[in-house]
Every structure is written in structure tokens, then in C-alpha cells.
Amino acid sequence: MTDLAVLYEHPLWFAPLFAALERKGVAYTAIDTHGSFDPVAPTPPAPLILNRVAMSAFLRDAEHPIFWALARLDHWQRGGAKILNGPQALAIDTSKARQLSLLTSLGLSVPRTRVVHSISDLVEAADSIGFPLLVKANIGGAGAGITRFDDREMLRAAIADNDIPRSIDSVLLVQEYVPARDGQITRIETLDRAYLYAIDIAGAGAFDLCPADACQVPGSAIQMTAAEPAQTFRDAAEAIARAAHLDLGGVEVMIDDRDGTPRFYDINALSNFVARPLDVLGWDPHDRLVDRLVDWIAETR
């Protein structure tokens, strides 16, 4: 048994992490999300387990591992392992509704939202918000399951055509469309509940975001640049990480162009570091993650 196990789902996103672990001579066991587990067998695969299961997993496989992983991580935790981004963090990651509730509890502003589980409630919820608005899947990832509706007729037509976003938990969010100032959002990354770095993302329309691969797409209109957010934003991100039990995670915020209010709208426990970090940041955050993993390993011995 190694001191560290990594539970992962995406076949490519974690190659930089594995490479950084190998560069620094940190032994680990990589565990993908195939196969089965015995809910009676109490022994976890390592004293320290890093959870890297993405909410966008359902886009890659209809037989996605999201809820299976939640049960498996909970089982390993009961068996005595320290889980980084464990069941509590994953429970927040799997619900945008929970995220908005948590953000509001911290005194942060969020887009006006209604949460429904029945298509028949969409129009009433939309009327209470006003147009334009977004309908979002409660469990998303990489911008999945987000559609803009500019008026009531457009929404009604989509309902009639059965062309409404779907969520794998049957929960939908009806949310006001917030015009982001300069068409830009800021993603703040944290490690061990502390600020790590931030990037400004422009040209995405705050819809289809994935820092790990968005800027690798040839001809992509999405631009990612290193940012130095205000201390209030850094403090907010750290408070969110503490409240959401994030050992590693990202927070997204935009400035509402209508009134200048910062509106937080997404918590991401799968912190895929920005692609080409040396070009964007000038340093590689995987190295700092591995350094902290080494410390966590020592703490579990």
C-alpha cells in the first residue's frame, strides 16, 4: 500500500499531477472509476486519498461514476482514510442549488435564482425572475446544461419541443442572466483553504468554462490571463473553501455590469489547473499541490 491514492475519472486531465508526483519521487496509486467495491471490506487503498472525480463525467459516459464515487469515498472515510475533497465537498460540488445557499449564507451576492424539479414549474419560476434568464442543470460541469431564454414565448416553445436542459438529478435552476462586466469572469483557486492563484476568463460568456483545456482549443475565443483579485475576493474564496470543506477548489465570480456588484455563482471541487500554466501564470501550481500532498502524507502517518 502506498501513502497516497488518487481517485480520478478523466483520462488526460491528471497527467500533469501524476508527472509532478513522479518528478518529486512521491509514490502513489492511481485508481480509475471502473470496477466495483465491497461496502463491507473496511480497508481503504491508502491513508490519504485525493478525490478527482469531475461533475462533467456524465458528458463522457452515460454510466457516469459521480454517485458511485460519493458512496466509495464515504466508505473509505469510514474506514479511517483522510479524503481530500471528500464526501462533504462532493455533496456541494454535485448541487448548484446547495452552492448558492452556501454562498448566500456567507453574505455573498449571487444571481437571483429559483430551484425546481418539475418542468411544469419552469414558467412560473421564470416569471418571478424576469427575462432574459438562464435555465441550468443542477449538476453540470464544463458549462453543460445551460440555456439562455430571452422571453416567455421562447421558454414555452422549448418546453413544448422538450428542448429544456436536463440534470441527472432532475433538479433545474432558473437564474437571472447577469451581464458580466467586460464579458469577463474571475476564477479563484484555493489550496488547503488558502488563496493559490486567480485567472480572468474572457470570451466565454460565463457558459462553457474549463481552465484545464479551454485555452488549448485551436482558434478558441476564450482568453485566460493571470489575475490579482482584490483582497476581499481572496478572503471570500477562502471562506467559501472552509465552508464547503474544499481541500482544493475553484470559485467563480463576475462583476454585474448593471450595478458593479460582485456575484459569486459557482464552486468547483475539481480544481483543474489552467492549461499551459507556465505561459499563463509563470509557474506550475501542480508543484505546490504536490508539496502540500507531501505534508498531508506526513500528517497521516
Looking at residues 157-168, what average pLDDT do you find? 94
* pLDDT tens per residue, range 275-293: 889 999 999 999 999 999 9
Looking at residues 122-138, what average pLDDT do you find? 97
Mean pLDDT of all residues in the chain? 91
Max Cα-Cα span within the chain? 61
The answer on pLDDT for 110 being more than 50 is yes
Closest listed residue to residue 189, CA positions, set 276, 59, 64, 286:
286
**Which pTM was predicted?**
0.92
Q: Can you list the alpha helix ranges (DSSP code H) found in 132-284?
A: 152-160, 231-243, 277-280
- Across-strand partners of 83? 49
Confidence of residue 252 (pLDDT cuts 50, 70, 90): very high
Looking at residues 85-108, what average pLDDT do you find? 96
Contact 107, 72 (CB under 8 A): no
User: Given 3.30.470.10, 3.40.50.1360, 3.30.470.20, 2.40.40.20, which CATH number is that of 93-109+178-284?
Assistant: 3.30.470.20
The answer on pLDDT for 194 being more than 90 is yes
Sign of CA dihedral 273, 279, 29, 62: positive
User: Given 3.40.50.300, 3.40.50.10310, 3.40.50.1950, 3.40.50.20, which CATH number is that of 4-85+289-300?
Assistant: 3.40.50.20
Model pLDDT, residue 209: 55
CATH superfamily name and code, 113-176: ATP-grasp fold, A domain (3.30.1490.20)
Which comes out higher in pLDDT, residue 264 or 65?
A: 264
Torsions phi, psi for 109 (to 5 deg):
-85, 140
The domain ranges of the chain are 4-85+289-300, 93-109+178-284, 113-176
